[in-house]
Amino acid sequence: MTHIETKMATPTFSEDFAATFAAFRRANDERLDEIEKKAAADPLLDAKVDRINKRLETLSVSLSAPGGAPAAEPESKTAWSRFIRTGDEAALGEFKSLSTADGQGGFVAPVETENRIDAVRRDAGTGSAWIAGPTPIAGPPPSYAGAAQLLAFDLPDRAGITVGALLDPFEPVTVRWNGREATLDAPVRIGATLSDLPARPPHLRDRGTVLEVRLPGLALASLEDDAFLAGGNRFAVETATGWEIIAARDAVLSAPQTYRLSHLLRGLDGSDAFMDGDVPPGARILWLVAGLVTLSGADDWRGSTVEVLGKTDRREARPAELVWTDRNGWPLSPVHPRWNGAALSWTGRDSSFTDWTEDASHLRYRVRLVRGGVTETIDTALTALSVQPFDRAEIVQLAPDGRESLFPAALNVTGG
């Protein structure tokens, strides 16, 4: 009798994969039928599906590896495959917050991807901030769907550091410095002047100046006198020595995001101390009506570089740095120096004064008298002194900490 030897043919890789996948489909269909009938899965069927699924994963990895050799697969990718094939959420739960360096795993986009998305959103946006300079130049744009960019300012009539944030779309930003905290509920609106802001007397209506400005993100309108005088349309314009606070009754749109401001009030809120001649185009201009908070400071910080921190509910903000000189506490300059041949007099000022008749006895002054190249200095609380004839007199007002007003009230007397 002839012995006939029989052998089972070894399946090829593709046959193995096809058979395993067919078995997976049958087993998974049975599992789904059981769930529909009994509203619960059969543990035995679950285990069978899981075994077949693991075999499928092994074959899939082998198929993609060079030369057919098995390759290690990131656990997070395996978890995702299991979820897609079997609905196994337990595997997802372990890896759902994972971000991997190779960009393959996890369900949170890698940092590099987030940065690319942020860059695209920034490039697609409109409405850049503007920074001072000889000509307006684009500054850091709002951080679209990213971290807020903080900006810090040292403004007159604000006792501390004034802070705003660029962020679009905007969400509340909590800012902190020097143990103080405050919340910004609107974005800062900052732009640039496009025309000269000529020197004018403070506190008077400036009907001759038309200031053209670029202010992204604002919809300005002209005001009635009552709203204008009550503080509407207030702006801060950066000068060589600080900020001048102005108000504009008339605001007319002249181009996209560009306005002509006219019928102005100049040097408001004690800012005439920083009115330093004509302001050329390219100066920063800040809208004061919303989008700013002030964190109070202490004398110890005066002259120091300070850092303001902040955050939204999602992430930390990019900090702002500022050398804080406390412009709010800077004394105003005295005015109206007079000489009658025997006495020198002047008028002191305080930002809290509402008229010229208020008591100024708390103010202090420094008088410099120049005679033939020799300077005599007198500190006084008086507003009139009997002095010998002089060639030139300069009177400055003093702050409690000894700082002098930026500009003296000066008087030249020809021939002594």
Residue pair 92/86 in contact (Cβ under 8 Å)? The answer is no
How many structural domains comprise the chain? 2
**CATH code at 397?**
2.60.40.10
Q: In b/e form, how buried is each residue of 366-378, taking b as 16+ CB within 10 angstroms?
A: bbbbeeeeeeeee
Domain that holds residue 381: 335-412
Q: How far apart are CA 1 and CA 180, in angstroms?
A: 103
Provide the pLDDT for residue 193.
93
Q: Are residues 271 and 153 in the same domain?
A: yes
**Final residue belonging to a domain, choices 294, 328, 362:** 328
Q: Are residues 199 and 257 in the same domain?
A: yes
How many other C-beta atoms lie within 10 A of the C-beta of residue 111? 11
Q: How far apart are CA 251 and CA 230, in angstroms?
A: 16
Q: Are residues 145 and 236 in the same domain?
A: yes
Provide the pLDDT for residue 36.
60
Using 70 as the pLDDT threshold, list the residues of the chain that sit under it. 1-21, 24-25, 28, 31-46, 48-49, 52-145, 298-301, 327-329, 351-360, 414-416
Q: Are residues 303 and 349 in the same domain?
A: no
For residue 122, tell me if it sits in a domain. no
Which structure tokens are listed for 90?
Answer: 């337990």
**Final residue belonging to a domain, choices 280, 299, 328:** 328
Q: Are residues 156 and 285 in the same domain?
A: yes
Residue pair 245/235 in contact (Cβ under 8 Å)? The answer is yes
Q: Are residues 158 and 286 in the same domain?
A: yes
Q: Are residues 324 and 339 in the same domain?
A: no
Give this prediction's pTM.
Answer: 0.54
Q: Are residues 299 and 362 in the same domain?
A: no
Q: What single-letter DSSP state applies at residue 404? A: B
Provide the pLDDT for residue 31.
64
Q: What are phi and psi of 406, to 5 degrees?
A: -65, -35
Beta carbons within 8 Å of 1's beta carbon, 6+ residues apart: none
Q: What are phi and psi of 323, to 5 degrees?
A: -85, 110
Instruction: Looking at 193-243, list the stretches that DSSP marks H as alpha helix, in order from N- to C-terminal side.
Output: 225-229
Beta-sheet pairing, 161-168 with 143-144: parallel
Q: What single-letter DSSP state applies at residue 284? A: E
Residue pair 285/193 in contact (Cβ under 8 Å)? The answer is yes
Provide the pLDDT for residue 106.
35
Q: How far apart are CA 400 and CA 329, in angstroms?
A: 9
Q: What are phi and psi of 168, to 5 degrees?
A: -145, 120
Q: Are residues 249 and 360 in the same domain?
A: no
In a 13 Å sphere around the CA of 342, the CA atoms on its Cβ side amount to: 0
Q: What is the dihedral of CA 336, 340, 344, 349, to 10 degrees?
A: -20
CA-to-CA dists, residue 218 to 68, 145, 188, 191, 286, angstroms: 62, 20, 10, 10, 11
Residue pair 16/8 in contact (Cβ under 8 Å)? The answer is no
For residue 112, tell me if it sits in a domain. no
